[in-house]
Amino acid sequence: MPQPLTLSSLPLFPLGSVLYPGGLLALRVFEVRYLDMVRKCHRAEAPFGVVALTQGHEVRQAGAAQEQFSDVGTLATIEVLDNPQPGLITLLCRGTQRFRILRRAQLTHGLWTADIEQIDDDVAVPVPDDLRMTATALGQVLQTLRQREPGIPTLPPESDDQLNDCAWVANRWCELLPVPLELKQRLMELENPLVRLELVGDVLERTGIAQ
């Protein structure tokens, strides 16, 4: 059995949100600890890690609790970087592969880094007939959102193949649904994409969204 691919000293970006593989993430970066990090990642075409906060805030505040974050996150690659004014960088990133933190450390200027092992990509599983409505409803929701906000960057276009893939459908719903951050994190960590979609289907049924 092959060993998981590991990375050393991966820079981390703790956020109050969960990034899923295949998802898009727009960021405004202005803290010194992250400005240098994203410039270096962009030049090197290297990823950084997005992890969900369990304590603390995205922006450091005097007297606030120490940042704590989940052990499982997602690699983010920078697709678009803009520097609209001094001290501000805007990013559009894409989630690629999940990872698990093995060791973590905080540098003197506040940036977190970690040694990580990458988690295998979700296995491609077709959407079963009893969950087909979740895929159909997702396609309709994405189309409606794009019509309402044509410039929104966080709505990736979907293909028929993606709408027939359990992981892709589940991940996009997880990004859209107003569920607690802890639940979004647990769903992202699930190894079985069919189980993830079944749980999403339960949420949709309870809320009446996909009917």
Q: What is the model's pLDDT at position 150? A: 64
Burial of 169 (0-12, 13-18, 19+ CB in 10 A): buried
Domain residue ranges of the chain, discontinuous segments joined by +: 6-118, 129-207
Q: Note the pTM of the prediction, 2 decimals.
A: 0.90
* 3 state SS of 63: coil
CATH of domain 129-207: 1.10.4060.10
DSSP state of 56: S
Q: What is the model's pLDDT at position 183? A: 95
Q: What is the model's pLDDT at position 143? A: 86
The pLDDT profile of the chain, 211 residues, written as one tens digit per residue, is 455 666 789 999 999 999 999 999 999 999 999 999 999 999 999 999 999 999 988 777 666 678 899 999 999 999 999 999 999 999 999 999 999 999 999 998 889 999 999 999 999 999 999 999 999 999 999 888 877 776 666 565 678 899 999 999 999 999 999 999 999 999 999 999 999 999 999 999 887 765 5
DSSP state of 62: T
Fold classification of 6-118 (topology level): 2.30.130
Q: What is the DSSP string of 117-158?
A: EEPPPPPP-BPPGGGHHHHHHHHHHHHHHHHH-TT-TT----
Could you give the CA distance from residue 131 to residue 158 in angstroms, rounded to a whole number? 17
One fold for both 6-118 and 129-207?
no
* 3 state SS of 31: coil
Q: Which of 104, 40, 44, 33 is nearest to 72 (CA)?
A: 104
